[in-house]
Homo-oligomer: A and B are copies of this chain.
Amino acid sequence: MIDINPDRLLTHLRALAKFGAIDHGVNRIAFSEADASARQWVSERLEEAGLHASIDRLGNVYGRNRKSSRAVLLGSHTDSVPNGGWLDGALGVIYGLEIAFALRDRPLQRSIGIDVIDFQDEEGTISPLLGSRVFCGELSDASAAAKVPSQFRIDRRSDAALFHHYEKDRHLAYLEAHIEQGPKLEAAGCTVGIVRGITGIRRFSAQAFGQADHAGTTPMNTRRDAARALFELMDHVYREFPRIAGRDTVWNIGDFAIRAGASNVVPQHAQMLIECRDLNEAVLENLEGSLLARVRTHNASGDVEVGIERIYCTSPVPMAQDIVALFERAARRLQHRSLTLASGAGHDAMILARAMPAGMMFIPSIGGRSHSSAEDSKEEDIISGCRVFAAAVDELISARSNVE
């Protein structure tokens, strides 16, 4: 059993929250001074917990168990969005740290150990998921090096690798804890959320090109109103998407702008951003198809040209089924209610899942707040979450060590 220490867990979480502290949250964007200091602190704590810690040129902090040749990798990220929450990814890093401390105090006597990682720039100050993409080889070291701001100075140890990379023969699996960035766990009265997969995203920019005219003197039937053309597309999204979508599909019209907007000018140009997310690629495909068909129909009949462009696309990433089951068993063993759900937000686990079996666990967020200094979780949920996470790590290590 991995016996975590709730006081130490909370003390470390609160100590980390001092780096870049604002209001109740943190402003610790990647590559800032607060970010560099926090990573230095994480590195020192990992050493204290008995791991060999080093920081690479990006700022990825890697705590390696030198006694084991195979390891379960635990972690997340400590960078934040501007004026973000104190938990977010920090929670996953400190869960990893706490499990390292617990194992230092009471080793499991297994051939498999744990490594802990704190990825750089998950939030995308420079580039989203930068640290994990380099770690998994999805972005070359050279490209990554070119992105690091020149003022970013980190106190690297002399034996540190320039860039940390995952090791195929070493890393059995990646487990990441994170605060839920929505209200589902709280609403369902659950202590932990087990992530079935990370939804794919398709994002579109639609533009309409009409003609500016005097809104007082141009008859309604001769106008070429760009805003009205996009309104018809908006209408399609609000009315048709619910019919095509799955139970958990989400979509959003997050921006709509008229250029040059004025009450007495018929809109010449309008632009709108639409996105949709689902765990099922086929659903995303249907939504996109329906949107494009609507635009084609419009352009075949209307005199305001509408253009639509897919500006961003990620595929859904399922989490490893055996890790989903592992978390479910751990929650049941500790008698905590759990909910298996999709993650609508991206995470480092999305990248890691392409390199090794990966799984994620959420704890509830009060009011579902996220990416806000108002983000918070109950202490009891933070502690219970860590216990479930540790129990899952314990079972994974024990089961796989037996196999060897």
Which positions in A face B, CB cutoff 8 Å? 180-184, 187, 199, 201, 203, 213-220, 222, 225, 227-228, 231, 234-235, 238, 242, 248-258, 261-267, 270, 273-275, 277, 312, 343-346, 368, 370-371
Contacts and interface: CB of A to CB of B under 8 A. Distances in A.
Contacts of A234: 231
The dominant DSSP class at the A interface is mixed
Contact of A231 (B238, B249, B255, B270): B238
A370 B277 contact: no
Contact of A181 (B214, B231, B345): B214
B257 A219 contact: no
A234 to B, nearest CB: 6
Given A182-B218, A231-B253, A254-B263, 6 more contacts: A183-B222, A184-B219, A203-B263, A225-B252, A227-B254, A252-B266
A380 to B, nearest CB: 22
Contact of A255 (B181, B248, B263, B275): B263
A254 B215 CA distance: 8
Contacts of A199: 216
A234 B235 CA distance: 10
Given A234-B231, A258-B256, A250 B216 contact: yes
Given A214-B182, A263-B275, A371-B214, A220 B257 contact: no
Nearest to A262: B254
B182 A219 contact: yes
A187 B221 CA distance: 12
Given A235-B235, A261-B257, A217 B180 contact: yes
A257 B254 CA distance: 10
